[in-house]
Structure 1
Amino acid sequence: MNAPNEFAALKTRQQAAWASGDYAVIGTTLQIVGESLAEACDLRTDERVLDAAAGNGNATLAAARRGAKVTSTDYVDTLLQRGAERARAERLDAAFQVADVEDLPFEDASFDAVLSTFGVMFAPDHARSASEMARVCRPGGRIGLANWTPEGFIGQLFKVLGRHVPPPAGLQPPSLWGTQAHLHALFAQTAEKIDATPRQFNFRYRSAAHFIDVFRTWYGPVHKAFAALPADKAVALENDLTELLNRLNRAGPDALVVPSEYLEAVITRR
């Protein structure tokens, strides 16, 4: 287990990674996941909803569209600003607040639902993150999660990145959040029940080269991985990503459509 100061140092590096590029360029393409999660959680008008590790606010917007009273949080302020811009453009009412999912600044049982789409899974301390989400969710409330699976495309992409730029020793893989066994372990003491459904999101680009260009420019973890490598090793990473993308592409030679499995989970708070 990592010591708290090691987690703090790692988190600082993660913040820098997610603040690099512009995740919102990628994040906006994932909006359908937020809509699906809001429906799975059966959100109601005027319910108090927290979007934790919200990024640019996909679950935030989905909840606000359903009349919920939403608080959108992330530890990267620039991402929250992009979410706030989107909310203003749609005239949706939501509050935006810088906050760390591992140390949420809210009272116990403050929310009827706590959501996270591809966010909390990247926090280094899995157990603490799960405990904090459960703490601020009222008994009988719902914790709704969308997490990439280890076997899906994004899970495989992170394995490729890890071969070229190894992650810190002892860190649990983010994709563990995309397994039912890990969710049951994390929420064993706080969940009344856990309903989990495998789903797919389709990444749509012109080609493998187009996908890599967009992700190495805008997606923090890929951007940082390429930046950390000398030219010859960056070419090797690009080749491995190209092979993965072309192998999973279901669109043929003239386009790129890559299905990526994720786990949609609704955890009812005990």
Structure 2
Amino acid sequence: MSEASEATQADRALKAKHRAMWALGDYPLVATDVIPDLGPELVRESGVRPGTRVLDVAAGSGNAAIPAALTGADVVAVDLTPELLEAGRQLAGERDAKLAWQEGDAEQLPFEDAEFDIVLSCVGVMFAPHHQQAADELVRVCRPGGRIALVNWTPEGFVGQMFAAMRPYAPPPPPGAQPPPLWGDESHVRSLLGDRVSGVDARRRSLRVEAFSGPEEFREFFKRCYGPTVAVYAAIADDPGKVAALDTALADLAAGQLADGVMEWEYLLFTADRSSR
């Protein structure tokens, strides 16, 4: 087998693993019950309006795609995981939102060059393992003069810290895979997009989360519903000592953030215009 063929097979295996991970738990419940405000905010900040051709990359169950469609925009939601797309279709039906749902890889988007006016991603593209490939695709499918708009968790914020707490218990990442919270670092995103964008506006904001009354409630919810957390616990299920240690680490992290039932989760809101060149 050639080196190129081996690389292709390895990438397919990695994407299959990612697809399976996001099918674990109940991410749609995370989106609707914990972070419902992120998608609508991204839609507002990106300037979506009726008739705009919009692509939501790594759309999950449509946290941004559905609000975008409700503005009257022409929206396509693309995601690697069919189970999330199906959940999104059901949610869209309940809200009478009309949009298209398509399975696809953020690193190899199944669309033509310059096909969309606005390309969005709400805590989605950050989980594509190869950041430059994903960034190149965001740029490629956005028309010159169009807009790229992203919301991603910062490394220093609560979710970034949660991933850091889980890292010692997770299997080692494959060669070339980069940590998701890097997408919440402005300098990293600027380096990925380079001079292909202009008019960059990058702001750190905090999402107010009031879904959990205590640290143990937070931990148990994420153990049950959030694919990456479910996967880490599955990897250490045969080691009670590691399970107990991770239980403590996540509860301690949440305890340090919770105050009167409120948490503040920091994210980066990044918008930029696709350069004409």
| Residue 182 of structure 2 is aligned to residue 173 of structure 1 | no
Task: After superposing the two structures, state which structure 1 stretch, 18-27 or 163-172, moved more.
Answer: 163-172
Compare 199-208 and 118-127 and name the one that shifted more: 199-208
Matches within 5 A, 1:21-170: 21-28=25-32, 29-168=34-173, 170=175
> Does the aligned pair in 1 maintain the 2:203–2:269 contact within 8 Å?
yes
Aligned positions, number: 265
| 2:183 maps to 1:183 | no
- Find 2:247's aligned residue among 228, 232, 238: 238
* 1:79 CA displacement: 0.3
Which of 197, 209, 217 is equivalent to 2:224?
A: 217
CA contact (8 A) 1:102 1:129 kept: yes
Distance 2:13 2:192 in 1: 23
The one-letter amino acid paired with 1:212 is R
The aligned counterpart of 2:208 is 202
- Residue 92 of structure 1 aligns to a residue whose secondary structure is coil
Residue pair 1:52, 1:73 contacting (<8 A) in 2 also:
yes
Q: What are structure 2's unaligned runs of at least 5 residues?
A: 1-6
Counterpart Cα distance in 2 of 1:202 and 1:4: 41
Give how far 1:258 is off. Answer: 1.8
Contact 2:155–2:184 (CA under 8 A) maintained in structure 1 = yes
- Paired residue type of 2:249: D
TM superposition shift of 1:202: 2.5
> Is the 2:151–2:270 contact (alpha carbons within 8 Å) kept by the matching residues of 1?
yes
Scaled by the length of structure 1, the TM-score of the pair is 0.94
8 Å contact from structure 1 (residues 7, 124) kept in 2: no
SS of the aligned residue for 1:108 comes to: coil
User: Partners of 1:231 and 1:202 in 2: how far apart?
Assistant: 33
Pairwise CA distance, 1:135: 0.6
**Which amino acid in 1 is paired with 2:153?**
W
Q: Which residue of 2 aligns with 1:248?
A: 257
Offset, 1:193: 2.5
1:58-117: per-residue Cα shift (whole Å, max 9, x none)? 110111121101001101011011111111111111111111111111111110001000
